[in-house]
A = this chain, B = another copy of it.
Amino acid sequence: MSHPGDTPVRRPSKGERTRTRILESASALFSRSGFHAVSLRDIAAHAGLTHAGLLHHFPGKEALLLELLGHRDRADAQGLFPTALDADAPEPSPEQWLSRLLDVVARNSTTPGLVALYANLSAEAADPEHPAHDYFVHRYRVVREGTARALGALFAAADPPVTDDPDAVAVQLIALMDGLQTQWLLEPDAVDMPAQLRALLRRYGVDPDPAARVSA
């Protein structure tokens, strides 16, 4: 059935498997309590090994965190954020960009853990000494630029062109995504994140929902 060399989907080695198990555990625990509050022993235990065993796969706690962040971005890049963090790949259309943003939010609504991780870290990372500081500065910059570009195109193409500054609205949109998460994490029932985002976009004369775009 499976000819060797035919399908390059060989079973990952044991090391690779535990490595991803560790990353999953780290994600889960960092999400619950933040970076500083979680110990390597916690993560290791959750992944089913000793903390010394964990340190065989990652040089240290900090490296584990950064690996996790990159890993997550790469997952997002598959179909969600190609250009944002992966470099190259063709620039998506403005509509695509926005609907991808909404996709990320919608998917986030199902994974409070990951959302909490980013909320926690982006707050901690305001300290320039924090290991993830540069990562977040860069990340926001990239997402902001892409969103501003998309908004600028849509604003110009709108029937009565929208005069708002795309950069400012981009900041606003991303801020809304983050702020909604804070409230949603504290009281999930009090906030409908995707609906709120769509509401804001509609206020700016932009409707990213393809289902609702009939006469465009």
B residues in contact with A179, CB < 8 Å? 174-180, 182
Q: Are A180 and B186 in contact (CB under 8 A)?
A: no
Q: Are A180 and B171 in contact (CB under 8 A)?
A: yes
Q: Are A182 and B186 in contact (CB under 8 A)?
A: no
Q: Are A126 and B190 in contact (CB under 8 A)?
A: no
Chain A interface helix/strand/loop/mixed: helix
For window 73-127 of A, CB contacts with B under 8 Å fall at: 112, 116, 119-120, 122-127
Q: Are B168 and A196 in contact (CB under 8 A)?
A: yes
Among A3-11, A54-62, A197-205, the one that faces the other chain is A197-205
- The range of chain A's interface size is 35 or more
Q: Are A186 and B125 in contact (CB under 8 A)?
A: yes
Beyond A136-B186, A137-B187, A168-B196, whether A126 also contacts B122 by CB under 8 A is no
- Residue ID in chain B nearest A117 by CB atoms: B123
Q: Are B172 and A175 in contact (CB under 8 A)?
A: no
Whether, in the assembled complex, A32 has its beta carbon less than 8 Å from a beta carbon of chain B, the answer is yes
* Bound CA–CA A140/B179 (angstroms): 12
Q: Are B33 and A34 in contact (CB under 8 A)?
A: no
A108 to chain B, nearest CB (A): 13
**What are some 10 contacts across the A-B interface (CB < 8 A)?**
A33-B36, A133-B186, A144-B190, A168-B195, A168-B196, A171-B183, A174-B183, A175-B180, A175-B182, A178-B182
List 3 tightest A-B contacts by C-beta distance, closest first.
A175-B179, A179-B179, A126-B185
| Beyond known contacts A33-B36, A112-B126, A140-B187: 12 more, CB 8 A cutoff | A33-B124, A120-B124, A122-B182, A144-B190, A164-B199, A172-B200, A174-B183, A175-B180, A175-B183, A178-B179, A203-B203, A203-B204
